[in-house]
């Protein structure tokens, strides 16, 4: 018996894709990207796949920046009177691999996109905490098999893969505030007898502000992603205010333009503060994105749903043609993320 994905693979090329595309035309596909590579690599999207994805997007959608969508989507004519649905390309964090690999593909095709940056990362003050955690785990001496992070004890004999250890620790640290995260990472490094470099290895390197200004001149909107990339759901009101406003201030200082688009770090329901409207009303941000989709779509200005993108081209087609959205509306499907730890 065919499962749902198998059925879609059968009927999609015949008529399913086209029907779904038509039914979901007023729904904007907000796409979420993170890491990029020249060749295929686990956790990254390679250059060849990106080119194929852009070809499909250009053929089947009208691509706009998130800022353009934010300023216009409440006008009913903006989405409904188009021959094709709108799509938005968003990229999180501020890694240099976006500038080196994906941005040139966008530039040569004259495609807009929105790039969310964590400003302390771009400033070179500290590299992203989850990457520092991964570096510690990858550089753990082989003789250390038992160690502790917070209240979590790890037996490396039972969890030998560094990536599995990293997932366990990230899931716990996301439940903590910034100060606790930094303390735990520093204590872990001390347990391992390693010294975390002040500057990240090339794999984890950020873009520079000069590179950001170059992109901003070529249809790349720069959005906010906090200062330190901590979960806002774990911070005090004062800390949230600082993360939002200092991020906005730095982007304005370096680009000459106040950002109106924001993206929640990690972006799951627990990462969104309960009184978020009060916080955003004190900023220049007009809307914000999360890192999952469900039936609510773009009904909440400060929790615009996004569709994650990976190497799987079939999954990408389901997003572009609107099948994911139909599944969310008709079957109550969603892409909320569980670390499974």
CATH number, residue 60: 3.20.20.370
In a domain, 10, yes or no: no
In a domain, 311, yes or no: yes
What's 264's DSSP letter? -
Tens place of pLDDT per residue across the chain (341 aa): 445 565 566 555 645 789 999 999 999 999 999 999 999 999 999 999 999 999 999 999 999 999 999 999 988 889 888 889 999 999 999 999 999 999 999 999 999 999 999 999 999 999 999 999 999 999 999 999 999 998 889 998 998 899 999 999 999 999 999 999 999 999 999 999 999 999 999 999 999 999 999 999 999 999 999 999 999 999 999 999 999 999 999 999 999 999 999 999 999 999 999 888 899 999 999 999 999 999 999 999 999 999 999 999 999 999 999 999 998 898 888 877 654 43
Q: How far apart are CA 140 and CA 161, in angstroms?
A: 12
Per-residue tokens: 62 = 């009208």
* 250 in the same domain as 117: yes
Cβ atoms within 10 Å, residue 112: 17
CA-based nearest residue to 67, from 50, 86, 80, 94: 86
What's 205's DSSP letter? P
In a domain, 323, yes or no: yes
Helix ranges restricted to H, the chain: 4-11, 17-23, 47-60, 66-72, 76-80, 96-97, 103-109, 119-123, 129-138, 162-173, 178-192, 209-216, 237-255, 276-280, 313-320, 323-331
* 310 in the same domain as 251: yes
In a domain, 21, yes or no: no
* 174 in the same domain as 93: no
Q: How far apart are CA 220 and CA 215, in angstroms?
A: 5
* 214 in the same domain as 285: yes
Q: Are 327 and 340 in contact (CB under 8 A)?
A: no
Q: How far apart are CA 277 and CA 214, in angstroms?
A: 32
* 149 in the same domain as 64: no
Burial 266-279 (b: 16+ CB within 10 A, else e): bbbeebbbeebeeb
Q: How far apart are CA 287 and CA 162, in angstroms?
A: 36
* 175 in the same domain as 238: no
Q: How many domains are there within the chain?
A: 2
Q: Which domain holds residue 168?
A: 129-192
* 226 in the same domain as 106: yes
* 260 in the same domain as 318: yes
* 313 in the same domain as 298: yes
Q: How far apart are CA 245 and CA 110, in angstroms?
A: 31
What sign results for the dihedral spanned by CA atoms 231, 234, 240, 242? negative
């Amino acid at each position: 018996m065919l499962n749902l994905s198998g059925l879609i693979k059968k009927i999609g090329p015949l008529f399913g894709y086209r029907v779904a595309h038509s039914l979901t035309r007023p729904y904007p596909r907000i796409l979420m990207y993170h890491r990029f590579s020249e060749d295929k690599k686990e956790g990254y999207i390679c250059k060849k796949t990106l080119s194929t994805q852009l070809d499909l997007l250009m053929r089947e959608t009208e691509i706009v920046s998130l800022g353009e969508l934010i300023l216009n989507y409440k006008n009913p004519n903006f989405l409904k009177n188009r021959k094709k649905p709108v799509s938005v390309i968003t990229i999180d964090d501020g890694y240099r691999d976006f500038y080196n690999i994906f941005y040139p593909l966008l530039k040569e095709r004259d495609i807009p996109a929105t790039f969310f940056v964590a400003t302390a990362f771009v400033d070179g003050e500290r590299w992203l905490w989850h990457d520092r955690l991964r570096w510690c785990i990858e550089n753990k001496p082989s003789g250390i098999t038992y160690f502790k992070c917070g209240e979590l004890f790890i037996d490396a004999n039972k969890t030998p893969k560094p990536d599995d250890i990293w997932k366990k620790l990230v899931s716990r640290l996301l439940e903590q505030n910034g100060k606790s995260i930094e303390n735990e990472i520093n204590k872990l490094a001390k347990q391992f007898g390693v010294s975390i470099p002040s500057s990240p290895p090339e794999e984890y390197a950020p873009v520079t502000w000069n590179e950001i200004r170059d992109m901003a001149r070529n249809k790349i909107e720069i959005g906010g992603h906090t200062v330190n990339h901590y979960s806002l759901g774990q911070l005090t009101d004062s800390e949230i205010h600082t993360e939002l406003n200092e991020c906005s201030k730095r982007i304005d200082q370096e680009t000459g333009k106040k950002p109106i688009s924001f993206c929640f770090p990690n972006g799951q329901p627990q990462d969104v503060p309960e009184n978020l409207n009060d916080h955003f009303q004190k900023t220049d941000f007009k809307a914000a994105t999360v890192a999952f989709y469900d039936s609510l779509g773009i009904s909440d200005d400060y929790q615009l749903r996004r569709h994650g993108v990976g190497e799987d081209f079939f999954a990408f087609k389901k997003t572009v043609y609107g099948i994911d959205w139909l599944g969310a509306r008709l079957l109550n499907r969603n892409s909320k993320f569980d670390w499974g730890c």
